[in-house]
A = this chain, B = another copy of it.
Amino acid sequence: MVYRRSPLMEERLANNRDRILLATRKLVAEGGFREAQIAAVAALAGMSTGMIYRYFPSKAELFVEVLGDAVGAEIEILREIAEGPGSAGERLHAALTCFVRRALRGPNLAYAFITEPVDPEVDTARIRYRKKFGDVFKAILIDGIEKGEFPDQDVDASAACIVGAFTEALVGPIGPTTRNTHDQQRLAESIRSFCLRAVGGASS
């Protein structure tokens, strides 16, 4: 009998892949990359370690993809805001609010994102992803400057600064302390104001 890959198998494959990614994401969120060992991922995904290597050539690449997915989802949301209606200032305001809120909801993923996962390969990816984040803000900035809303500025630097500003401001609360909703609101507001003033928009 000739072996043929059935659609069902494809699906199973996709399912497996997703389960691996989900499990990894979960473990990273709970304890950082450090806790997401292949054996743990496999156990949580309900499969063998060998299975993991059917879908990912190495742990590093799995991590890169997990990071990429997490970032990708956020980027998607931000991009929608960035390309949506409203003044540049309004869109920046909305984007910042959105990001901070989401980061605080799933704190450790944001933490892993700021973090060096020891593996150089993953680290490279991490920087690349941070840049992607910056690009969204950069787009808003360029738009705002063109429309005369924001003063002229080094948009690359400003974008990086924005990303840095809120990741740093989030590391504190993310680490040991867990904040209540009220504090989170305040923190989001503070970061937002800081960045808006920084780019020269209304300081709220």
A interface list, Cβ under 8 A from B = 32, 34, 114-118, 120, 123, 127, 130-131, 151, 153-154, 156-158, 160-169, 171-172, 175, 186-187, 189-191, 193-195, 197-200, 203
Report whether A167 and B164 are in contact in the complex, using a CB–CB cutoff of 8 Å.
yes
Report whether A168 and B120 are in contact in the complex, using a CB–CB cutoff of 8 Å.
no
7 additional A-B residue pairs with CB within 8 Å, beyond A164-B166, A164-B169: A116-B116, A116-B117, A154-B186, A161-B168, A161-B191, A164-B167, A164-B171
Q: CA A123 – CA B31 in complex, angstroms?
A: 11
Q: Choose from B115, B127, B162, B194 the contact partner of A172 (Cβ within 8 Å).
A: B127
Given contacts A153-B194, A194-B153, contact A160 B168 (CB under 8 A): yes
B residues within 8 A CB of A175?
A: 127
Report whether B157 and A127 are in contact in the complex, using a CB–CB cutoff of 8 Å.
no
Q: CA A173 – CA B168 in complex, angstroms?
A: 18
Q: CA A168 – CA B195 in complex, angstroms?
A: 14
Secondary structure dominating the interface of A: helix
The 8 closest A-B pairs by CB, nearest first: A164-B168, A198-B198, A157-B190, A154-B190, A115-B116, A161-B165, A164-B164, A160-B169
B residues within 8 A CB of A158?
A: 190, 194
Report whether B115 and A151 are in contact in the complex, using a CB–CB cutoff of 8 Å.
no
B residues within 8 A CB of A116?
A: 32, 114-118
Q: CA A171 – CA B114 in complex, angstroms?
A: 11
Distance (whole angstroms) from the CB of A202 to the closest CB of chain B? 12
B residues within 8 A CB of A117?
A: 116
Q: CA A159 – CA B116 in complex, angstroms?
A: 23
Given contacts A32-B116, A116-B114, contact A203 B160 (CB under 8 A): no
Measured CB to CB, the nearest residue on chain B to A169 is B160
B residues within 8 A CB of A195?
A: 161, 198
Measured CB to CB, the nearest residue on chain B to A187 is B157
